[in-house]
Amino acid sequence: MRIIKVMSVVLCSLGIAFAAMAKDMNVGFVYVSPIGDAGYSFAHDKGRLAVEEMDGVKTAYVESVKEGPDSERVILNMARKGYDIIFATSFGYMDPMLKVAKQFPNTVFMHCSGFKKAENMSNYFGRMYQARYLSGMVAGAMTKSKILGYVAAFPIPEVIRGINAFTLGAQAVNPEVSVRVVWTKTWYDPATEKEAAKSLLDAGADVIAQHQDSPGPQEAAQEKGVYSIGYNSDMSTFAPKSHLTAPVWNWAPYYKQIVNQVKEGTWKAESAWPGMDAGIVKLAPFGPMVPQDVQDTVTAKQAEIASGAFKVFSGPVKDQQGAVKIADGTVANDETLLGMTWFVEGVVGTTE
């Protein structure tokens, strides 16, 4: 009997201890590449640091987590350790996260860049194509050879959508422009990505844009003495002479909003796709070589996109074969954008 009493006292005090600890909210982040990549994971980690500064919130992260079974284990361990919110920031984490979400109904799961959701799992992403369109306008205004080079990651809708938006932006200011695409099939491989950029430079491109997380293509452009468009975060420190601007992520407001919602109990699973209106995507500051009139045109367009007055994918939009994919007077819906597997007219390359 005495043992039972002692045990119950111990258990009670443990319970109180846990209740006291529960005030601190634990938020975990899973990244696909090292946070030192200056790119995609770095941008998410800036969002995490903003969350870390909130009162009563603790954060932790695991970086370089491979998609597939490894990610399932990492997410599972975070859930077991009692993390309240888990952000997984790569497409391949979708199914693993869904499996774990089913086992931990009281944990909030946030998956970036996928399309599946559950009672306790949201998916979210930003309308990066809006910022890509603006960066395309800058590239289109700066090119002399009228050939733009695009170092592309994987032939998936997200990347294809970005290339199309970039191309449409460039054509808006310079109708004769063509965009040459090279696939590296990498997310982070500085050497391969730099080589791919060089091959585009050899093909006559004089502005290089990219989708990967490394600054390799930026360096290639600077070495050749031409211009470049970064991605993910302001990459101007890597190539100050060539970096025109970059479409960049700004996750802090969204992450803080989600953490607040969970704290207040108002959080609900959803498919969120915020854009420039919410400040999730934006353009990095222009380099000094971008003329003032170009800056003004782009800034004006930025305001139009943010206010909703201008939609990037409004018809008529033709594919590479010249067939009309988005009819005149219509705007592509999200379904079309999320499943985009074709290039617009003016892109040189295949989606395979």
The contact set with other proteins (CB under 8 A) reads 28, 34, 36, 60-70, 72-74, 76-78, 80-81, 91-92, 95, 115, 154-157, 160, 185, 338-341, 352
Q: Which is nearer to other proteins, 171 or 184 (CB)?
A: 184
Q: How far is the CB of 3 from other proteins (least distance, A)?
A: 25
Q: How far is the CB of 127 from other proteins (least distance, A)?
A: 16
- Beta bridge mates, 23: none
* Strand 247-249 versus strand 281-283 pairing type: antiparallel
Residue of 45, 40, 88, 36 whose CA lies nearest to 65? 88
Q: How far is the CB of 67 from other proteins (least distance, A)?
A: 4
Q: How far is the CB of 100 from other proteins (least distance, A)?
A: 11
Q: Which is nearer to other proteins, 60 or 300 (CB)?
A: 60
Q: Three-class SS of residue 123?
A: strand
> Would you tell me how many other CB atoms lie within 10 Å of the CB of residue 148?
30
Q: Which is nearer to other proteins, 22 or 60 (CB)?
A: 60
Tokens representing 211 are 């989708």
The string of DSSP codes covering 31-99 is: -SS-GGGSSHHHHHHHHHHHHHTSTTEEEEEE-SPPTTHHHHHHHHHHHHTT-SEEEE-SGGGHHHHHH
- The answer for 155, left when phi > 0, alpha when psi is -120 to 50, beta otherwise, is beta
Question: What gap in Å lies between CA 257 and CA 61, rounded to an integer?
Answer: 19
Q: Which is nearer to other proteins, 138 or 340 (CB)?
A: 340
Q: Which is nearer to other proteins, 51 or 284 (CB)?
A: 51
DSSP state of 344: B
Cβ 352 vs Cβ 183: under 8 Å: no
Q: Which is nearer to other proteins, 104 or 227 (CB)?
A: 104
Q: How far is the CB of 96 from other proteins (least distance, A)?
A: 9
Q: Which is nearer to other proteins, 185 or 225 (CB)?
A: 185
Q: Which is nearer to other proteins, 74 or 252 (CB)?
A: 74
Q: How far is the CB of 72 from other proteins (least distance, A)?
A: 8
- The answer for 38, left when phi > 0, alpha when psi is -120 to 50, beta otherwise, is left
Write the CB contacts of 122 (distance below 8 Å, at least 6 apart in sequence): 108, 109, 110, 111, 269, 270, 271, 272
Cβ 94 vs Cβ 116: under 8 Å: yes
Q: How far is the CB of 207 from other proteins (least distance, A)?
A: 27
Q: How far is the CB of 161 from other proteins (least distance, A)?
A: 10
Check whether the bond before 316 is cis (ω within 30° of 0).
Answer: yes
